[in-house]
Amino acid sequence: MLGLLVALLHICATTTTGPLKLHSLNWKKIKSEEWLVKFYSNRCGACVHFQSEWRKLIETAHELNITVGFAEVDVDKELELSVRFLIQALPTIVFASHGKFYRYLGPREHAKILNFLNLRKSEDVKEMSKYMAPDSFLISLLAKMSILGLRIHEYYMVLIKDSKYPAWLIVSVAILFCIGAATLTIILIVQFLDLLYSWIFRKSVPRSKTTPTLISKADGDDKSQGHLKNA
């Protein structure tokens, strides 16, 4: 009962203040309860056309007391989230349900989306695998690397525009830095794989249960002399 009350409160807040604007710091809110997330761009004609359908969807869902939160992501401002959710076309709708993520495949019409929210037909959505989910290690690493690449590009453009040094010198330093960073990364990966292989191989090789017998030098000399005498 308490969970239902909390869900209703956050749905009411979403409806009165508009959809939740997601960014890299608050996007994990949609891992709790159920949310419908729209990925859009103001430069996308289809997104602009879908905006009226999106508003009708939110209003009708509130009138029908459908306990689903609504959120939006502007991909022009949130590159990290567009990478995390592997956005390839706009507008994209993602349905989040208690930590699981589904890509909505149906028509971009408020009536069709409401029908999905009511009936929850599996053919209308496609679940993201745990390896490709936005909170998986692989996708998180890919998102962080994308942001790092964007920041490096921004710093490079600032240096080219405002620096007193010639462009060829800046490019040369950047290339040398990238080569050094790539070399260091490869060395670290090789060392890690070597340690991992050694650890796995050590565990896979069974230890001998018999203890080796040590032969002293004196015993060895006696045995060798005995063989000589017999000869």
Report pLDDT digits (tens) over 207-230. 555 555 555 555 555 554 554 444
> Within this chain, do residues 142 and 126 fall inside the same structural domain, yes or no?
no
Would 79 be classed as within a structural domain? yes
Q: Does position 86 have pLDDT exceeding 50, yes or no?
A: yes
Residue type for position 158? V
Residue 53 CB: number of other CB atoms within 10 A? 16
Global confidence as pTM: 0.66
Is the domain of 117 the same as that of 169? no
| Structural domain that includes position 26 | 20-130
Residue 5 domain flag: no
103 and 126 in a single domain? The answer is yes
Tens-place pLDDT, residues 130-152: 889 999 998 998 888 888 888 87
Q: Is residue 80 part of a domain?
A: yes
- Which residues have a Cβ under 8 Å from the Cβ of 90 and sit 6 or more positions away? 39, 40, 41, 44, 46, 47, 75
Shared domain for 116 and 32, answered yes or no, is: yes
Spatial distance between the Cα atoms of 194 and 191, rounded to a whole number of angstroms: 5
Q: Does one domain contain both 46 and 144?
A: no
| Domain-embedded: residue 83 | yes
The mean pLDDT value for 53-70 works out to 94
Phi, psi of 154 (to 5 degrees): -65, -45
Query: Are the beta carbons of 104 and 54 closer than 8 angstroms?
Result: no
What integer best gives the mean pLDDT of the chain?
A: 82
**23: pLDDT strictly greater than 80:** yes
Give the count of domains, the chain: 2
3-class SS of residue 94: strand
111, 173: one domain: no
